[in-house]
Amino acid sequence: MRSKNKGPVLQRRGQVDGTTTDQRLLDSRGPTDWVHTDPWRVQRITAEFVEGFGALAELGPAVAVFGSARTPADDPAYAQGEQVGRALAEAGFAVITGGGPGVMEAANKGASEAGGTSVGLGIELPFETGLNDWVDLGIDFRYFFARKTMFVKYSQGFVVLPGGLGTLDELFEALTLVQTGKVTAFPVVLLGTAYWSGLIDWLRESVVAGGKMSRADLDQLVVTDDVGEAVALMRRDAAGEGDGGQGPA
């Protein structure tokens, strides 16, 4: 029976290829479709994790700030984003955002102007280009899951300003990780009671009331308009004094 060992992979019968790995590496001729195959993507994924871990390993205490990329500079949420970034930096936290425009830019700007560490974790998208000018340490990712790992691994909590699908995605992923015990003592603050109150009401009146989540899960969220309260919660949690959330009103 025809067979071949290709590293850890065993090939038999019709699965046996006619070349060796070294041969294909050293032979510059032939098709280049291999760079788009799944095994090669694994290497790219690994590289993204290696780059992210290497760049952020010595970051120190950090808080992620999320919010809409579509927020204009004259929107009150933009000014609040700057205030959050500045206050977090002054409290000794690095500020991590998605590196884009809008609220992300505002938080990076506030942190950078306050002399803090301003981090942007960008993502390849068809409708956004590059990291904002206030990112002092930036990484661009191809894969959402690699980027999300960096947010959770290197942030001690999330501050979430008004945003759309991407913001909601990060918010609910954080809550899921807390619910399932994948992360512990991870405070999540929603800034903007007018924006978030409808969501909280729906979660309480439909999801909790319907038995789809517990009240304790909802209590992980703190909803406020006070930047000082949000930063104080992050500081208490970093000092081991917090309970990971005081719950919505």
pLDDT, tens digit (0-9, with 9 covering 90-100), for 101-160: 999 999 999 999 999 999 999 998 777 668 999 999 999 998 999 999 999 999 999 999
Q: Looking at residue 184, what is its pLDDT?
A: 83
Q: Quick check: helix, strand or coil at residue 76?
A: helix
pLDDT, tens digit (0-9, with 9 covering 90-100), for 158-196: 999 999 999 999 999 999 999 999 988 789 999 999 999
Handedness of CA 59, 65, 71, 73 (dihedral sign): negative
Mean pLDDT, rounded, for 26-50: 80
Percentages (nearest 5) of helix, strand, coil residues in the chain? 45, 15, 40
Mean pLDDT, rounded, for 67-76: 97
Mean pLDDT, rounded, for 217-229: 95
pLDDT, tens digit (0-9, with 9 covering 90-100), for 78-109: 999 999 999 999 999 999 999 999 999 999 99
Cβ 69 vs Cβ 91: under 8 Å? no
Q: Looking at residue 25, what is its pLDDT?
A: 64
What residue has token string 């992980």? 220
Structure tokens at 98: 């998605």
pTM: 0.84
pLDDT band for 230, please (50, 70, 90 cuts): very high
The closest alpha carbon to 132, from 69, 53, 89, 86, belongs to 69
pLDDT band for 10, please (50, 70, 90 cuts): low
pLDDT band for 36, please (50, 70, 90 cuts): confident
Cβ 72 vs Cβ 78: under 8 Å? yes
